[in-house]
């Protein structure tokens, strides 16, 4: 009975691996078509995307007092950009040196950390609920954005609850 169970477990694992490979191939084909790269480059860039996600988690955990977020550009060239409020090049190099991200990662300086932006977003929740409005963190621009259908309504509510007038307001 033990032999049968082991064989069954191995065969089941192979089936899952084949499904995973098939899904990854589908993703790579779609990526290649979208961004005009060959299949090999699509696979490389998809792997770099996964690595960038891990880098985001690492920087959020290890550098909360400096990390201001990251994003991926696919065009004109594949690039991962990470922002920091200080020591941007040193912090980024410490994390990407010797990894595949080292050739595509770049650092930028930002005013506010991601933690500060999240805190600012939280402080604006009463205003957003009262207007109503949507709040969004624009990592690239390093700001919290308030998306409203009525700028006048936003001003009225902000005065009523004593909130400072938001700098970045976008009508939708």
Q: Which residues contact 35 (CB under 8 A, 6 or more apart)?
A: 42, 45, 74, 75
170: phi then psi, degrees, rounded to nearest 5: -125, 130
Q: What is the pLDDT of residues 45-80, one digit of tens each?
A: 999 999 999 999 999 999 999 999 999 999 999 999
Which carries the bigger pLDDT value, residue 106 or residue 11? 106
User: Distance between CA 43 and CA 31 in Å, rounded?
Assistant: 8
So what's the pLDDT on residue 148? 79
The pTM assigned to this predicted structure is 0.78
Pairing of the two strands 79-84 and 143-148: unpaired
Pairwise pLDDT comparison (21 vs 1), residue with the higher score: 21
Is 144's pLDDT higher than 50?
Answer: yes
Residue 39 pLDDT: 96
């Amino acid at each position: 009975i033990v032999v049968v169970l082991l064989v069954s477990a191995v065969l089941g694992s192979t089936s899952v691996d084949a499904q995973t490979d098939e899904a990854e191939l589908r993703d790579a084909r779609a990526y290649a078509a979208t961004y005009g790269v060959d299949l090999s480059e699509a696979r490389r860039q998809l792997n770099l995307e996964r690595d960038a996600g891990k880098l985001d988690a690492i920087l959020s955990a290890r550098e909360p007092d400096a990390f201001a977020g990251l994003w991926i550009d696919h065009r004109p060239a594949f690039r991962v950009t990470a922002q920091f409020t200080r020591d941007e090049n040193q912090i980024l190099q410490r994390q990407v040196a010797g990894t595949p991200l080292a050739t595509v990662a770049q650092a930028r300086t930002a005013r506010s950390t991601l933690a500060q932006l999240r805190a600012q977003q939280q402080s604006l929740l009463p205003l957003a609920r009262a207007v109503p409005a949507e709040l969004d963190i624009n990592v690239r621009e390093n700001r919290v954005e308030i998306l409203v259908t009525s700028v006048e309504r936003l001003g009225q509510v902000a005065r009523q609850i004593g909130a400072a007038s938001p700098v970045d307001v976008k009508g939708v």
